Amino acid sequence: MATIYEVAARAEVSPATVSRVLNGTNVSEDKVARVKQAISELDFSPNRMARSLRRQHSQIIALIIPDIENPFFTSVARGVEDVAQAAGYSVVLCNSDGELSQEAYYLDLAASDNMAGVIWTPASAASTLGRFHSPDRAVVAIDRRPSGRETDAVLVDNHRAGFAATQSLFNQGYSRVACITGPADVETSVLRSEGWREACRAHPDLQPREDYLRYADFRVDGGRAALSALFALDLAPDAVFVANNLMGVGVLQELTARGITTSHYGVAILGDLPYFSFTATGATVIDLPAREIGGVAARLLLERIAGLTDPPRTEVLHSRVLPAQANVISR
């Protein structure tokens, strides 16, 4: 691959001038023309490693998420990529698997690779930026916030979504509504379950039963096990609010296994599963604007990369309750 020196030689200018042409600063017209000519003749494209080394940051954004096989994060990734790519940045995908050690590994990587910025879903409330923490490093949190709140964040209205989901179950006539949420040390989990709790309180003849609240792991099997445990209670609930999409799958699996249909058992799931649309699960789904979340996060990050120094901002996007049947044959 050609270098800037070969271009310079061919155009009979100095490498500095070539660089200036590349970066659009003041160069006389005839030299610009000669350089462009040489560039195309040599099929030259600048070496990004050399550029990054000199500039002290690369054109790469790290996206750290807990599970790339969860369609929610896939859509987020898509949103991030669309915006990032349009701005000339590439996205490195990093699976933390929800583990602090993996997360720390990737943050370290982002630092030693001088990546332009990081968009991440902190694995837990205990997550920290480690060595990536620095005033001039761009960071945006997605879906949850890290322990120190000093970064930009893009969130959904978790509390309200939990409330609305639970509410809709009451409206459907159920009275003993349980809640299966994520790990207790994840902010998102807690907010969603508090939405549930509040909706229960608002219900006149019912106190929220604490044994109706189950902390699981945001995964299929965890959701399934949690529902199983709920069934073992003396007075089992007759409906359940599930705080993420995968646990929702687990719940539906368990119901199917027990031969129970959603016409007899209320299910509201926070977060959708694309391509499920043709099956009548009968569950109420609260739609999360995943792709938009990614897009907004990327935009905030790019602003930081460009040097914005405003105090941390938080964008809250809204979820949307889909009526129990709307997920049938839509799309």
Structure tokens at 128: 């920290």
Q: For a second copy, what does the binding mask look like between residues 131 and 170, x meaning CB under 8 A?
A: x---------------------------------------
Residue 229 within binding range of a second copy, rule CB under 8 A: no
For residues 91 and 165, which CB has a smaller minimum distance to a second copy in the complex?
A: 91
Using DSSP's 3-state secondary structure scheme, residue 321 falls into strand
For residues 190 and 225, which CB has a smaller minimum distance to a second copy in the complex?
A: 225
For residues 43 and 210, which CB has a smaller minimum distance to a second copy in the complex?
A: 43
Of 24-32, 141-149, 209-217, 279-287, the window that binds a second copy (rule: CB under 8 A) is 279-287
Residue linked to tokens 């646990």: 247
For residues 279 and 314, which CB has a smaller minimum distance to a second copy in the complex?
A: 279
CB of 30 to DNA, least distance (A): 7
For residues 190 and 226, which CB has a smaller minimum distance to a second copy in the complex?
A: 226
CB of 111 to DNA, least distance (A): 11
CB of 258 to a second copy, least distance (A): 10
Where in 135-174 is the site for DNA (CB under 7 A)?
none
CB of 276 to a second copy, least distance (A): 8
For residues 45 and 279, which CB has a smaller minimum distance to DNA in the complex?
A: 45
Among 118, 191, 200, which residue's Cα sits nearest to residue 156?
A: 191
Residue 109 within binding range of DNA, rule CB under 7 A: no
**Are residues 167 and 329 in contact, defined by beta-carbon separation less than 8 angstroms?**
no
User: Which string of DSSP letters, residue by residue, matches 232-295?
Assistant: TSTT--SEEEESSHHHHHHHHHHHHHTT--TTTSEEEEES--TT-TTS----EEEE--HHHHHH
Residue 9: Cβ-neighbour burial (10 angstroms; 0-12, 13-18, 19+): middle
Residue 60 within binding range of a second copy, rule CB under 8 A: yes
**Are residues 281 and 261 in contact, defined by beta-carbon separation less than 8 angstroms?**
no
Element (H, E) at 180: strand 177-181
Residue 249 within binding range of a second copy, rule CB under 8 A: yes
Report d(CA 239, CA 174) in Å as an integer: 6
Element (H, E) at 72: helix 71-86
Q: For DNA, what does the binding mask look like between residues 47 and 76, x meaning CB under 7 A?
A: x--xx-xxxx--------------------
